[in-house]
Structure 1
């Protein structure tokens, strides 16, 4: 029994040393996780957050030329948290999903749910709130973010986890 322990100890030591070296390599080369492939969070932070809006009361509304609703309130708060101004783009979900896929938007709102059909064009946040549908079933609310822009997605999800249930 002691002999088996001696054989596995060098293997464990090599594994630990390998993990430590990988971590040191990452730290010294400036790796950061999560990472945005196109730098969306860096571009929006201190700049402009480009938000697509599909009108869907009470989540998103359009009154007197102003975007309103609970999700616009959340997005405005998120934009403030990263020092960004918001530029709104109003459109149908299908159009906004295509614009997101093309890299023209940073966030899409409009009462999107976790069963959204647009997952081939945008990443969906984790559900930030559950509401009740007219038929009494629970519906999980999400927002859209660019595919591959993980730092932006994580940043938005963090904000929503702290503020979304109030929205």
Structure 2
């Protein structure tokens, strides 16, 4: 049993070493979302939801919009807003047209099988004791980790 465990550990160490030598980074973005957003454009979708997301003519506001603007600033990016229904935003994430979507989505979101969902945050102003999430493209794990680190620093969990 001990020899088997040692053999497995050696295998894991060799696999990690091999991946490190190949330049593989974890987490990764197969579609390069984080690299594209950094220093460029953050394509954000918004669905109006009380104080979380307000929409007045062409202006998107509210606490989630402020967080997205701050995230963009931290990545030296500018935000390009798209206002639509949740379903349209999910389609935009799936089709690579959006990088993130915000609205009244919670940790009970029905979209979890179609897009990535951040950790839940209940301390966002306007959340009203709901566990609010943001939606990101499925599989863009470096991007999602960056968004969650920013949210952790700004609003906690």
**TM-score, with structure 2 as normaliser:** 0.90
User: Which residue, out of 80, 84, 88, partners 1:87?
Assistant: 80
CA deviation after TM superposition for structure 1 residue 63, in Å: 2.8
Alpha-carbon distance in structure 1 between the residues aligned to 2:142 and 2:106: 21
CA contact (8 A) 1:113 1:141 kept: yes
Corresponding position of 2:48: 55
Alpha-carbon distance in structure 1 between the residues aligned to 2:27 and 2:85: 30
* Deviations 1:34-93, CA, capped at 9 Å, x for gaps: 111111111111110100011112001123532110000000111111121110001111
Alpha-carbon distance in structure 2 between the residues aligned to 1:106 and 1:117: 19
Alpha-carbon distance in structure 2 between the residues aligned to 1:80 and 1:93: 25
Corresponding position of 1:161: 152
Distance 1:165 1:57, change over 3 A: farther
- Structure 2 unaligned segments of length 5 or more: list them: none
SS in 2 for 1:139: coil
Q: 118-127 or 144-153: which moved more? A: 118-127
SS in 1 for 2:109: coil
SS in 2 for 1:58: coil
CA deviation after TM superposition for structure 1 residue 9, in Å: 4.3
Alpha-carbon distance in structure 2 between the residues aligned to 1:154 and 1:22: 23
Alpha-carbon distance in structure 1 between the residues aligned to 2:66 and 2:92: 22
CA deviation after TM superposition for structure 1 residue 165, in Å: 4.4
**TM-score, with structure 1 as normaliser:** 0.85
Aligned length: 154
Corresponding position of 1:29: 22
